[in-house]
Amino acid sequence: MAIRREFRIQYRYFRNKSNKSKCSDWCIDLFWKGSVCELFISRIGWIQSAVSFSLRTRKERGIIARITSSMNRKIHVWFGKGLSKFQNERKDNLLSLSDLLDNRKERILNTLRNSEELRGGAIEELEKARARLRKVEMEADQYRMNGYSEIEREKWNLINSTYKTLEQFENSKNETIQFEQQRAINQVRQRVFQQALQGALGTLNSCLNKELHLRTISANIGMLGAMKALRD
């Protein structure tokens, strides 16, 4: 199979040689494959409607050229080896072009299929992410509710504990007051009893002193009487 070669020639055509600003850029692309030469002439800007070129060599005299009237002009050039060979090679070129288009179409279809697969995978990942997000939100709501319940329970436990502490403190205070009152009463009773006892002891001592004095006198009188009787 012949190798396709190509090269590009670019030149500038001036509409008015005195005015270099009004010009047109031409680009000539040559594609060689075997004995067939394809020539593409493209322009940028303003050019004249007529295009002329010359072929100088002897072999180039048999070249048939055709210039299309479109913006991109294509010239098919072939050498004097027969029209059938050119047509066969042209068919090969068309088949190659068809294969190229088929390959591009297949690549585009593969790209579209890959894009659809990627899109499906992305949608699936998005649904999974949404499911995980809903699960996390439900867990967060449950945790929030459990947290509120735990806070309420801790609050009531603290209130009950404080109430019990205050109740114990009140009971202890009442017990202390009762103990102090009983202690004060006992101290007063003890002092009154001591005072009464001291008074009774004083009275008893005074009574005992009088009785002892009387007994001593009686005993003395008796002893004097006995001594008098002994003398008589």
pLDDT tens digit sequence for 71-98: 334 444 444 444 455 556 656 666 676 7
Judge whether 63 and 83 are in contact, CB under 8 Å: no
Quote the CA–CA distance of 47 and 14 in Å, as a whole number. 8
Last residue of a domain, one of 81, 113, 145: 81
Question: In what side-by-side order are the strands of the sheet with 73-78?
Answer: 4-16, 19-33, 36-45, 73-78
Residues 96 and 120 in one domain: yes
Last residue of a domain, one of 114, 132, 162: 162
Residues 55 and 34 in one domain: yes
pLDDT at 8: 45
Two structure tokens written together for 110: 């593969």
Last residue of a domain, one of 36, 61, 81: 81
Quote the CA–CA distance of 232 and 228 in Å, as a whole number. 6
Residue of 4 and 138 predicted with greater confidence: 138
Quote the CA–CA distance of 123 and 23 in Å, as a whole number. 55
Quote the CA–CA distance of 50 and 13 in Å, as a whole number. 12
N-terminal to C-terminal alpha carbon distance within the chain: 199
Judge whether 171 and 179 are in contact, CB under 8 Å: no
Q: Is the pLDDT of residue 15 over 60?
A: no
Quote the CA–CA distance of 208 and 220 in Å, as a whole number. 18
Two structure tokens written together for 62: 């048999």
Q: Is the pLDDT of residue 48 over 50?
A: no
Residues spanned by the domain of 56: 1-81
Burial track 101-129 (b if 16+ CB lie within 10 A, e otherwise): eeeeeeeeeeeeeeeeeeeeeeeeeeeee
Q: How many domains would you assign to the chain?
A: 2
